[in-house]
Amino acid sequence: MAHSTILTALGGIMMLTGSAQAPTSAQVETALKDRLPKTKVSSVDCSKVDGLCEVVAGENLFYVDRTARFLVIGRVYDMQTRQDLTAARLLALNPDMLVGSAAKANASAEAPESPAAGAGTRVTQPAVAQHLDVSRLSDKGAIVWGKGPQRVTVFSDFHCGYCRALSQTLESMNVTVIERPISVLGSREIADQVLCARDRHAAVRAAYAQDPIRPGPKCNTSGLDENEAFARAHGLNGTPVIVRSDGAVLEGFKPKPLLEQWLKGAKS
């Protein structure tokens, strides 16, 4: 009898750990109801990332292991496709959430309660610095266009509608733009094409218009990796982020009058 009990227990452990049969999404959702009774779970998907289940709860997105014991709040990156899977999923759930500075909407949204504390907690993201020193970034990831006396660096994503609007605004201003693409919304492949294009400015316009980009020769795109590493290190989770020549930072799309006034405030 004792031997039979031990075998039954071992069988249950094997099922939970996936050695015999991985729990289904429905089983994980049932387990979550016991662990997070106050959290209204919208959906559970255990098919996308091996070993993790994606959980949608209202406007919140988090992950649990297949036993629903460990909860993970953060971003999942596919290093093969160079895509932020979390950002892409959040965009699908709410198209306005990650556009411009709206990535912070997820940061301020209420997260599921901690099983230990039993109370509501909030997702926190690193705050973007008020000043950024972009002088240490190499030129390899910079796409320079415009010929004005004032220089402005823009961290952008070619899938970001507000980045497109900002680009069109800057086109009408007397500025030199140093555009540094970062793949917040899964646009790395497009950024590679733009960086390698013979006419980069034309490629920028085509990318934002979702038009075909005239191919250029293969080139070194490691500068885009440098841009993204810098963005992660400084908490740039949304786009666009505008950096003035003196390092001052402005987040999100701004109208032309405000941009012109802000640029005049640069310290020499």
**Rounded Cα–Cα distance for residues 123 and 156 (Å):** 24
Largest CA distance in the chain: 85
**Rounded Cα–Cα distance for residues 61 and 82 (Å):** 20
**Rounded Cα–Cα distance for residues 253 and 265 (Å):** 18
Please give the class, per CATH, of domain 139-264.
Answer: alpha beta
Question: For the chain, which residues make up each domain, given as ranges?
Answer: 25-122, 139-264
pLDDT at 185: 83
What size, in residues, is the chain?
268
Cut 0.85: pTM above it: no
Contact in structure between 191 and 181 (CB atoms under 8 Å): yes
Contact in structure between 64 and 52 (CB atoms under 8 Å): yes
Q: Is 53 helix (H, G, I), strand (E, B) or coil?
A: strand
Other C-beta atoms within 10 Å of 235: how many?
15
Q: Is 18 exposed, middle or buried (0-12, 13-18, 19+ CB in 10 A)?
A: middle
pLDDT at 82: 66
Characterize 74-106 residue by residue with b for buried, 16 or more Cβ atoms within 10 angstroms of its Cβ, and e for exposed: ebbbeeeebbbbbbbebbebeeebbbbbbbbbb
Helix 200-209 crosses helix 188-196 at what angle (to 10 degrees)?
Answer: 150
Mean pLDDT, each 10-residue run in order, the chain (268 residues): 38 40 86 88 91 88 91 82 73 54 37 37 46 95 95 95 93 96 91 97 96 94 96 90 95 92 84
CATH fold of 25-122 reads: Nuclear Transport Factor 2; Chain: A, (3.10.450)
